[in-house]
Structure 1
Amino acid sequence: MKFGLFYEISVPRPWGRETEKTVYDNCLEQVALADQLGFDSVWAVEHHFLEEYSHCPAPELFLTACAMKTKKMRVGHGIIVCVPEFNHPIKIAERTAVLDILSGGRLDVGTGRSATWTELAGFRASPDETKKTWDEFVHCLPKMWTQERFSYQGRSWSMPQRTIVPKPYQKPHPPLWVAVTSPGTEIDAAERGMGSLGLTFGGFAEQEEKVKRYRKIIRDCTPVGEFVNESVSTVNFLYCHEDEAEGVKVGRRLSGTFNYLAAQLLAAREAYPSKSYPSLGLLPSLRQEASGPGDASGAPEGIAIGNPARILREMKKWESVGCDRVNFLLNALETVPQQKVLDSLRLFAKEVMPHFQGASDSASAAAGGR
């Protein structure tokens, strides 16, 4: 199992001239350190209009900066919104190819369709259409990356025959992923041969069932791309401290701040109930988290907060249910001071990562170089 970072880039009020720059600078410092420590990847969301919760409307720019500050870490869109009112598919193909070139072939492309009414209505996108447009986009993207000339006549967009340049550095193309929040999306990912990019905080039993369904279906999939990306990722919080009580205390403050922000979001299903949005996605698990199962330390089940021994136990459980990667949120509204975030990353890399195949080689090499 491998470990990555996951960024919403939340910015606390009041917003002065330096506020957003400070948050972005902190994120980039974390990414540079994580690369030295042997973390596998860094992912960034695409969100619009979500005050404080996420000031990351241009992940391709943030990820380019990450690529310039790192040598080994993969950079991942988590996710690109595949809705024509947000992003034109030709521009997605072009931008991702350039980022893959600039990163030296380290790009992963996560796809999705947005889940908040604030964003969908802000771009005048119909919730009834987003799943259909996402499906069109993910079938077209690999062809635009690999075919010398491409044309398309479809439901939501069309183009005459043209040569789309440049082409990605990775051959045949970057791995494709799907954001999995609503129930059943892991099936959509498996049927298309795409990685499952889990963005919910469900418990082990729920995740294990999702992984089993995904693994079963992907064996007989019809991949949208040139290869099958059979990978399962989940998202988590991380705060690692030598003292368990302190780790849990700070970690719960981090997760509680994020959960509070997320609970304020207006989900598409709440504002515009439809078959296309049958679930609140991220929000129910966040609202239930405070009263969910935990352990004697007071930390919720599966959350990577506390001392290294506790976090190791929880990560081994994620490994046992079939997850290939855990991506960590490190902060929310700058609740955790930057130095504590950096210390947490160092301690996790030193005490936890070496216990996992896949993460151990890079972590050990990084430790040897310090």
Structure 2
Amino acid sequence: MRFGIFYEHQLPRPWEADSEQRLYGDALEQVELADRVGFDYVWAVEHHFLEEYSHSAAPEVFLAAASQRTRNIRLGHGIVQLPPPVNHPARVAERIATLDLVSGGRVDFGTGEASSAAELGGFGVVRDRKREMWQDSIDAVTRMFVEEPFAGWDSPYLRMPPRNVIPKTVQKPHPPLWVACSRRETIHLAARNGIGALSFAFIHPEDAAAWSREYYRLLASEECVPAGFAVNANLAVVLPMMCHEDAEEARRRGAMGAGFFAYALAHYYGPSGHVPGHGDIWRDFLEQAPELRGGDPLGGALGTPQHLIDLIGRYEAAGVDQMIFVLQAGPNRHDHICESLELFGEKVLPVFAEGREERERARLDRLAPAVESALARRAPARTMAEPYPIDEEAELARITRPRAAVPAPGDVLAAARRNARRGGRRLLARLVANRTDEELARWFGPAAQRLLFTLMARSFDPARAAGFRGLIEFRLGPRATWTVAVSGDRARARLGRARNATLTLSMPAADLLRILAGTSNPAALLVSGRLKVAGDVAVASRVPEMFGAPSPY
């Protein structure tokens, strides 16, 4: 088991003139302390335009500063956004290599696609093509690390002539690769690409065990074709953390930050209608989600050293390779974070240190045959048959030539469905506004329910179901229960309970309407107990995406 700390650089309003400067200064002190007490990793995210939730737009700069104040801790991008409209692949390769040089070879290269509307729309990234962009870019970037010169690229997302992309990394063939994951299918994606899985799903140990088994099974199968030129077999789990000798004090210090983290996450990755420069997520959190303030909505590690030892032991037994902790969240205080890091280093880290290196060597030895087989399936680095002279005029002509505008299959239909859903959501939002549970329950009778679930089934998108087949049961109050059966590329809705439902969602009918209208926060409903989930929690996280809503990560 390895241990890391994670930074979104959260900054709830109100802000002062030096708020961001103090935020970064405090974070660097925390990283320096984490290195001193024995943490293995610091991870910093790349996000853009997500006010209050994440002021971390240039993690490579923050990590470079951290590299000069630390000796041993590894510097993790968690993650670099790879779609070329956000980051040109050559610039990514150059920044990663430079950071690897100035840190003495301590970089881990985490990657991702981005998913919030604020970021995708801000950079002009088409949501339905961001996965293809990620796959294309990671192939190009890893070749830039190892090819001398890089033999060039011509894809729908990147045109680049041959160039020797310098500098080169200290770590050979390149730093370890990771990808951000929030659902079971992205865990599968990581395994099939032979890269580490950075799970941001805040899963419990029992769910982590299933994910670990699937990850390592796929990584050892013929389906694994590495995205890079080395395999990084690792599964990491992220949790909020605050450690104190008194359990109630640990919760008091960390619960508000964990609650704000959950609320702000739902704000940007749901139908928030965010207004840049005019929102106040902290105020909304205090007013609209009181149930999130004193609890632990993300199932975090808020407690005594012994509580954390027991919890981490369960994750270790489940096959998790790294625990990454979020301490800097919401209004969490700098001095409390530092005290927590000190106590964790004194009383928790030593418990897991004994025999760790031997266990890691044994794990890598077990994986070695699978890794060797996987790398044999990876297309090798390219070499150019003859030197390539730079010809500016000819290169510009090739790069700027127009492409045929051929829409991807289903793009037109998907756009029409999105427009129809937006109009329906606006209408539904007007209907549910300022109405009580009783009023909505009366309006949402059998006929309205039948229409709603029929439309939901028709909106099913098999491309976003990741092969899911099964029964999803919706229990609406004491009487009405609907089942949506997903089979292949179709979904059907019927009145009645399901036998052996894969997932059961129980809530008042009024809350289902509010969720569909975008006026209720599912995370807040879950924490308050108005929404209950039974069955496959991983399926629950992608239900909105399967039936038409955008998904996180």
Interval containing the TM-score (normalised by the shorter chain):
0.7 to 0.9
Q: Corresponding residue for 1:249? A: 252
Answer yes or no: is the 8 Å Cα contact 2:236–2:322 preserved in 1: yes
**Mapped pair 1:156 → 2:152:** no
* Structure 1: 5+ residue stretches without partners: 272-289, 292-296, 362-370
**Mapped pair 1:120 → 2:120:** yes
Q: TM-score, normalising length from structure 1?
A: 0.87
Distance 2:153 2:191 in 1: 25
> Aligned letter for 1:37?
V
Q: Corresponding residue for 1:367? A: none
Q: Corresponding residue for 2:418? A: none
> Aligned letter for 1:353?
L
Answer yes or no: is the 8 Å Cα contact 1:302–1:317 preserved in 2: no
Could you tell me how far 1:93 is from its partner in structure 2?
A: 0.6
Could you tell me how far 1:116 is from its partner in structure 2?
A: 0.6
Q: Corresponding residue for 1:34? A: 34
Deviation string, structure 1 residues 8-45 (Cα, Å, up to 9, x no partner): 00112222221100111110000000000010010111
Deviation string, structure 1 residues 78-106 (Cα, Å, up to 9, x no partner): 00111111000011011111011011000
> Aligned letter for 1:128?
D
* Deviating 4+ runs (over 3 angstroms): 297-302, 357-361
Q: Give the stretch that moved more between structures: 39-48 or 194-203.
A: 194-203
Q: Corresponding residue for 2:204? A: 203
Q: TM-score, normalising length from structure 2?
A: 0.59
Answer yes or no: is the 8 Å Cα contact 2:193–2:227 preserved in 1: yes
**Mapped pair 1:317 → 2:320:** no
Deviation string, structure 1 residues 48-104 (Cα, Å, up to 9, x no partner): 111100001111101111111111000011001111110000110111110110110
Matches within 5 A, 1:40-59: 40-59=40-59
Matches within 5 A, 1:75-114: 75-114=75-114
Q: Give the stretch that moved more between structures: 259-268 or 100-109.
A: 259-268
Answer yes or no: is the 8 Å Cα contact 2:244–2:250 preserved in 1: yes
C-alpha RMSD of the superposition: 2.2
Q: Corresponding residue for 1:346? A: 342
Distance 1:33 1:323 in 2: 25
Q: Corresponding residue for 1:216? A: 217
SS of residue paired to 1:55? coil
> Aligned letter for 1:203?
H
Deviation string, structure 1 residues 220-258 (Cα, Å, up to 9, x no partner): 322122221001111111110011111122222221121
Matches within 5 A, 1:187-198: 187-198=188-199
Matches within 5 A, 1:165-184: 165-184=166-185
Q: Corresponding residue for 1:185? A: 186
Answer yes or no: is the 8 Å Cα contact 2:239–2:324 preserved in 1: yes
Answer yes or no: is the 8 Å Cα contact 1:2–1:358 preserved in 2: no
Answer yes or no: is the 8 Å Cα contact 1:3–1:359 preserved in 2: no
Report the identity percentage: 40
Q: Corresponding residue for 1:280? A: none
Distance 2:92 2:245 in 1: 43
Distance 2:220 2:269 in 1: 36
Could you tell me how far 1:357 is from its partner in structure 2?
A: 3.6
Answer yes or no: is the 8 Å Cα contact 1:3–1:326 preserved in 2: yes
Q: Whose radius of gyration is greater, 1 or 2?
A: 2
Could you tell me how far 1:157 is from its partner in structure 2?
A: 0.4
SS of residue paired to 1:86? coil
Distance 2:49 2:203 in 1: 26
* Structure 2: 5+ residue stretches without partners: 274-290, 358-553
Q: Corresponding residue for 1:365? A: none
Answer yes or no: is the 8 Å Cα contact 1:353–1:360 preserved in 2: no
> Aligned letter for 1:149?
P
